[in-house]
Amino acid sequence: MDIQSFEIHFETSENTTPPYSYAYILKGSIKDKLELHYHVQYTHREDLSLEEIIDEGFSPNDDLEIQGRVDIMWVEELDLLMRQTKPRQYIQQANIDFLEVNITHIDGTGNKFFPQNQDLWGYLCEELCQALLEEKQVERPLLFKFKKISPLESIEYWFMMSFSKRQVMLQNKTKKGIPKEKSVGWEYGKKFLELVFKPDYFAENAQVHEPNKNGFYINIGDELWYEAGKTALNRSQKVDVLGQIEKKVLEFFV
């Protein structure tokens, strides 16, 4: 690993309308830990009223500037992505986000490029920013809950994903038994996370209180419980994603 520091510039595409459009600069310096500086600004809100911004779930000012240190293990991910990356020519398109990487090497040389695998760089930036926000206690680690209720038993499963520690923990709880806990690999956790976000969740009819009737329920961190087949629905009748989620959850401790 010969990277000394990096700076990544990102801006949402022209087709991203406010208040969702934003730009950020993520700077990193590699020492005994990875030191990060993150500055995000939400853009093009001049013509929006305060009511319009709030109605979309934002606040009057969502800009943020924060810096701190995260685990050095994230440097390995940066190094791996660098070795997988080929530069490309930048062509401005209305539907494509802007992402530019500027690397400074240990010997003082540097190179600036637009990565061909832009989506992977964007995802790594999101992970690093989330790790920093957790480390500074601006946000909590990701926590999803699942509950399977049958005539025989009721079991609750927790899926905890800490970006600052780069760790995925699983836990199951029964009313009588002792909770069990285990860890799984980061990539496994990411794939499961992607699966959980595939169904459609309908908050207007979801349960506020913890469920007590037979069924399979999902809590995606918004304090609501979504019941599979009722307030959580597959997007396609051809693929039973909810069935896949339930199967994986029940297999966690097999």
Which token pair is 79?
A: 């190094």
Mean pLDDT of 125-137: 95
What whole-number distance in Å separates Cα of residue 154 and Cα of residue 152?
A: 7
Can you give the pLDDT at residue 1? 65
**Residue pLDDT, tens place only, 108-120:** 999 999 999 999 9
> What is the number of other CB atoms lying within 10 angstroms of the CB of residue 54?
13
**Residue pLDDT, tens place only, 139-168:** 999 999 999 999 988 999 999 999 998 999
Of 21-30, 88-97, 187-196, the range with the lowest mean pLDDT is 88-97
By the 8 A CB rule, do 129 and 44 touch? no
Does 16 score more than 90 pLDDT? Answer: yes
Which residue ranges form the domains of the chain, and what is each CATH number?
Answer: 3-135 (3.30.1560), 142-251 (no CATH)
Does 254 score more than 80 pLDDT? Answer: no
**Residue pLDDT, tens place only, 186-216:** 999 999 999 999 999 999 999 999 999 999 9
Looking at the chain, the whole-number percentage of residues with pLDDT higher than 90 is 87
What's the whole-model pTM score? 0.86
**Residue pLDDT, tens place only, 44-87:** 999 999 999 999 999 999 999 999 999 888 999 999 999 999 99
Mean pLDDT for all residues in the chain: 94
Does 173 score more than 90 pLDDT? Answer: no
Can you give the pLDDT at residue 253? 80
Can you give the pLDDT at residue 252? 86
The residue with greater pLDDT, 50 or 1, is 50
Can you give the pLDDT at residue 234? 97
Report phi then psi at 248, rounded to 5: -65, -40
Can you give the pLDDT at residue 2? 84
Does 179 score more than 90 pLDDT? Answer: no
Can you give the pLDDT at residue 7? 98
